[in-house]
């Protein structure tokens, strides 16, 4: 029997609260308290994704797994202990804000450890050969978090915590992180900036978040020079632009690096109806990018591929993007059809836009000798 895809989930992750906000604006002054979910990084995007998998029958055909929270030792491989102390103290005291745009509530320290624990367990199980591949529905997300500072809704660096645990346990050498969240994966970049063994690639909307943006020229430093790659895309880009960037840069760069494991930082906020970005991807874009990653993983790392959830703020639409990714990972097709696909497809950028973006991607590829 072929090994199934594992899906790592814990309801606790959905109990992390980001306090009272309207989208990303703290309530008060001119900002009216919201009527609904409030903060953009709400549990509903993730809960509805998992619920759609349950209703479609997809969950029942996967290995549904829980995981223990990441340990203090796991966290300290990546994070400054003083940051962890500060985060825990604030969490114990009822929550607050100890970084940039990363509010949290009571108990979020323990919940963030669970979020990291799901990513860690997913990587561990795939490296142990238990599953063909895995998806971790981690929340809070991780890719903006620095070693010593919370940022952009991210409180712990879930993927680096998972990678460092795997390195400690399995002695795995070369790992690639492909970040297709629409925002720049600055946290992962900064943690690995001087490391040659973890190749970090971020595909994102140019200059969207965070401020103090880091772009294509930032290729790593010291021993890590060349092991960091940013592929900024122009606002408005959609399916064709994403796939061109994947085929022209991301896939050949991965082929050259020859990873033993690929981890995807999978935000779904490049979709066309996300409130926090201006790209026009749809569920088939995420499905196709998953296929591309599976093909590289098959060629170089025995199929070892782990996808970890990051951003994505359109409650109605994230579930269809996530569902497509897990369908593709598992090779299982359900009856679910994306009800927004036609609406987004007719609004894709023109050939003029595409040619412009393609030229920029070609320039980047040439600079990389790809």
Instruction: Residue 307: name the closest of 333, 284, 327, 279 by CA.
Output: 327
Instruction: Residue 277: name the closest of 171, 180, 369, 146 by CA.
Output: 180
- Catalytic hit among 144, 204, 309, 323: 144
Return the beta strands (E) in the chain as ranges: 5-8, 21-22, 25-26, 63-65, 95-96, 104-105, 133-136, 175-179, 198-205, 228-233, 261-266, 305-309
3-state secondary structure of 352: helix
**Interacting stretch for Zn ion, rule CB under 5 A, among 69-77, 196-204, 310-318, 359-367?**
310-318
Instruction: Dig out the tokens for 153 from the structure.
Output: 């809704």
Q: Quick check: 325 and 285 in contact, CB under 8 A?
A: no
- For strand 104-105 and strand 95-96, is the pairing parallel, antiparallel, or unpaired? antiparallel
Q: Is the Cβ of residue 68 or residue 275 nearer to Zn ion in the bound state? A: 275
3-state secondary structure of 266: strand
Which of residues 74, 241, 269, 284 is near Zn ion by CB under 5 A? 269
Instruction: Dig out the tokens for 99 from the structure.
Output: 């970084």
Instruction: Tell whether residue 16 is a contact of Zn ion (CB under 5 A).
Output: no
Instruction: Tell whether residue 311 is a contact of Zn ion (CB under 5 A).
Output: yes
CB of 301 vs Zn ion, minimal distance in Å: 26
144 is catalytic: yes
Instruction: Tell whether residue 323 is a contact of Zn ion (CB under 5 A).
Output: no
CB of 182 vs Zn ion, minimal distance in Å: 5
CB of 168 vs Zn ion, minimal distance in Å: 28
Q: Is the Cβ of residue 203 or residue 336 nearer to Zn ion in the bound state? A: 203
Instruction: Tell whether residue 267 is a contact of Zn ion (CB under 5 A).
Output: yes
Q: Is the Cβ of residue 131 or residue 242 nearer to Zn ion in the bound state? A: 242
Q: Is the Cβ of residue 5 or residue 138 nearer to Zn ion in the bound state? A: 138
**Interacting stretch for Zn ion, rule CB under 5 A, among 126-134, 242-250, 309-317, 352-360?**
309-317
| Biggest CA pair distance of the chain | 60
Q: Is the Cβ of residue 270 or residue 340 nearer to Zn ion in the bound state? A: 270
**Interacting stretch for Zn ion, rule CB under 5 A, among 15-23, 90-98, 287-295, 304-312?**
304-312
Determine the straight-line distance between the first and last CA of the chain, rounded to whole angstroms.
39
Number of H helices and number of E strands within the chain? 12, 12
CB of 202 vs Zn ion, minimal distance in Å: 11
**Interacting stretch for Zn ion, rule CB under 5 A, among 64-72, 192-200, 235-243, 305-313?**
305-313
Instruction: Residue 41: name the closest of 83, 104, 87 by CA.
Output: 104
Check whether the bond before 210 is cis (ω within 30° of 0): yes
Handedness of CA 107, 312, 162, 7 (dihedral sign): positive
Q: Is the Cβ of residue 45 or residue 56 nearer to Zn ion in the bound state? A: 45
CB of 310 vs Zn ion, minimal distance in Å: 6
CB of 283 vs Zn ion, minimal distance in Å: 17
Q: Is the Cβ of residue 56 or residue 186 nearer to Zn ion in the bound state? A: 186
Residues 274 and 257: their CA atoms lie apart, in Å, by 32
H/E segment holding residue 135: strand 133-136
Which of residues 183, 239, 248, 323 is near Zn ion by CB under 5 A? 183
Instruction: Tell whether residue 181 is a contact of Zn ion (CB under 5 A).
Output: yes
Q: How many residues lie near Zn ion (CB under 5 A)? A: 5
CA atoms within 13 A on the CB side of 2: 10
Chain residue at closest Cβ approach to Zn ion: 311
Return the active site residues.
144
Residues that bind Zn ion (CB under 5 A): 181, 183, 267, 269, 311
């Amino acid at each position: 029997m072929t090994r199934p895809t594992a899906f790592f989930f814990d309801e606790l992750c959905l109990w992390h609260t980001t306090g009272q906000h309207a989208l990303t604006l703290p309530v008060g002054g001119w900002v009216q308290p919201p009527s609904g979910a409030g903060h953009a990084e709400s549990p509903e995007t993730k809960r509805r994704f998992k619920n759609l998998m349950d209703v479609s029958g997809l969950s029942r055909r996967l290995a549904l797994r829980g995981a223990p929270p990441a340990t203090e030792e796991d966290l300290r491989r990546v994070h400054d202990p003083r940051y962890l102390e500060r985060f825990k103290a604030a969490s114990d005291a009822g929550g607050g804000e100890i970084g940039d745009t990363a509010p949290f509530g009571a108990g979020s320290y323990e919940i963030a450890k669970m979020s990291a624990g799901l990513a860690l367990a997913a990587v561990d199980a795939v490296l142990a050969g238990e599953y063909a591949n895995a998806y971790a529905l981690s929340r809070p997300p991780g890719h903006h978090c620095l070693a010593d500072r919370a940022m952009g809704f991210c409180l712990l660096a879930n993927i680096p915590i998972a990678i460092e645990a795997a390195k400690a346990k399995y002695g795995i050498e070369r790992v690639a992180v492909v970040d297709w969240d629409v925002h720049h994966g600055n946290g992962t970049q900064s943690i690995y900036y001087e490391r040659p063994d973890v190749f970090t690639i971020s595909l994102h909307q140019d200059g969207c978040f965070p401020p103090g943006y880091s772009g294509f020229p930032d290729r790593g430093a010291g021993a890590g020079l060349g092991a960091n790659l940013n592929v900024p895309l122009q606002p408005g880009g959609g399916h064709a632009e994403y796939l061109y960037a994947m085929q022209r840069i991301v896939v050949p760069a991965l082929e050259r690096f020859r990873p033993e494991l690929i981890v995807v930082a999978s935000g779904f906020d490049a979709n066309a109806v996300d409130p926090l970005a201006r790209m026009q991807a749809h569920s088939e874009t995420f499905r196709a990018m998953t296929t591309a990653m599976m093909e590289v993983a098959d060629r170089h790392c025995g199929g070892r591929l782990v996808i970890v959830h990051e951003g994505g703020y359109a409650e109605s639409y994230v579930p269809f993007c996530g569902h497509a990714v897990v369908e593709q990972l598992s090779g299982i097709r359900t009856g679910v059809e994306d009800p927004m696909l036609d609406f987004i497809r007719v609004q894709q950028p023109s050939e003029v836009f595409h040619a412009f973006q393609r030229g920029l991607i070609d320039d980047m590829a040439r600079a990389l000798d790809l």
